[in-house]
Amino acid sequence: MIQCNNITKVYKNGDTETKVLKGVSLAIKTGEFVAIMGPSGSGKSTLMHILGALDSPTSGTYTLDGEDVSKLSDDQLAEVRGKKIGFVFQAFNLLSRATVLRNVMLPLVYAGTKPEERQKKAQKALLSAGLDEDRWNHLSNQLSGGQIQRVAIARALVNDPALIMADEPTGNLDTKTGQIVLGTFQRLNEEQGRTIILITHEQEVAEHADRIIFIRDGLIIEDKKNLHKRMIDKNLV
C-alpha cells in the first residue's frame, strides 16, 4: 500500500534550514498495524504528514496504492486523502458547538455526500468506534476525554478509509480509557482489515501493533515485528 524511498523533509524559515527527515525508506502492506515510535522532535508527525498526503517530501518518492503522490498539487493531495485516509489527531479539532453526530458528518459535507446518506454513514462510524448511542446528540464539550477520542475515531472512519493514521491518540487519556481506544484500533484492523499507522512515544501503546518502527533524529533506526503482541493475543503473558 505504502512505499517510500529515501524521503527527506527540510523546513526553511528565512535563512535557517532544518533537516527533519534525512532519508526514510519504508514499505507498509495493506492490513498491517504499524506503530511509529521515537523521542520528541525525532520527526514522527512530519513523517505522518507526508504518509498521510498532508504534505510533500523535499526529496524522495512516495507511492500510495501504486500512485506517485510525492509530486501532486495540494488539490490532488486533498482528493487522495478524502478517498483513502482517515486521521485522528492528538488535538481532536472537534467543533464544540456541534453535536457528536454533526461533527462526524462534517467530512462528508466536504466530500459532497448526499445529506440523507450522511447521517447513516455517521451512525455506522460511531458504532464502529464504540460510542454509546445515548451520546450522539451531546455537544462535544459534554463528553469525557475517552468519548471525545471515540468521536475523533468515528470522524476518521466516516469516509470508509482503507488507511487510518493516528498521532498520539491516547496521549491525553488515562490508562484504562487509553486501553479501550487502542482496543478500537485493534478491532478496526483485525475485523475490518484496515491498515493502521499509530504514532506514539509510549512502549505500552506500541505493543498493540504488529510491527514497530523506531525513528530517531529523522532516520529509521529499527523496524521489527512485535512478537510480544502475538504472545498477548495467545495469552502467553
Ligand X SMILES: Nc1ncnc2c1ncn2[C@@H]1O[C@H](COP(=O)(O)OP(=O)(O)OP(=O)(O)O)[C@@H](O)[C@H]1O
Write out the residues near ligand X by the rule CB under 6 A.
Answer: 11, 13, 18, 20, 38, 40-46, 201
How many CB atoms within 10 Å of residue 233? Answer: 11
Longest CA span, the chain: 55
Q: How far is the CB of 190 from ligand X (least distance, A)?
A: 27
Q: Which is nearer to ligand X, 25 or 58 (CB)?
A: 58
Q: How far is the CB of 90 from Mg ion (least distance, A)?
A: 7
Q: Which is nearer to ligand X, 124 or 201 (CB)?
A: 201
6: alpha, beta or left? (left if phi > 0; alpha if psi -120 to 50): left
Q: How far is the CB of 169 from ligand X (least distance, A)?
A: 13
Residues that bind Mg ion (CB under 5 A): 45
Q: How far is the CB of 21 from ligand X (least distance, A)?
A: 8
Q: How far is the CB of 18 from ligand X (least distance, A)?
A: 4
46 binds, among ligand X, Mg ion, none (CB under 5 to 8 A by kind): ligand X
Rg (CA), the chain: 18
Place of cell 504499524: 34
Q: Which is nearer to ligand X, 43 or 169 (CB)?
A: 43
18 binds, among ligand X, Mg ion, none (CB under 5 to 8 A by kind): ligand X
Q: Which is nearer to Mg ion, 100 or 206 (CB)?
A: 206
Distance CA 158, CA 111 (A): 11
Q: Which is nearer to ligand X, 27 or 91 (CB)?
A: 91
Q: How far is the CB of 114 from ligand X (least distance, A)?
A: 37
Distance CA 51, CA 63 (A): 9
Q: Which is nearer to ligand X, 74 or 190 (CB)?
A: 74
The amino acid present at 79, given as its one-letter code, is: E
Q: Which is nearer to Mg ion, 40 or 96 (CB)?
A: 40
169 binds, among Mg ion, ligand X, none (CB under 5 to 8 A by kind): none
| CA-to-CA dists, residue 197 to 40, 44, 121, angstroms | 18, 11, 23
43 binds, among ligand X, Mg ion, none (CB under 5 to 8 A by kind): ligand X
20 binds, among Mg ion, ligand X, none (CB under 5 to 8 A by kind): ligand X
Q: How far is the CB of 19 from ligand X (least distance, A)?
A: 9
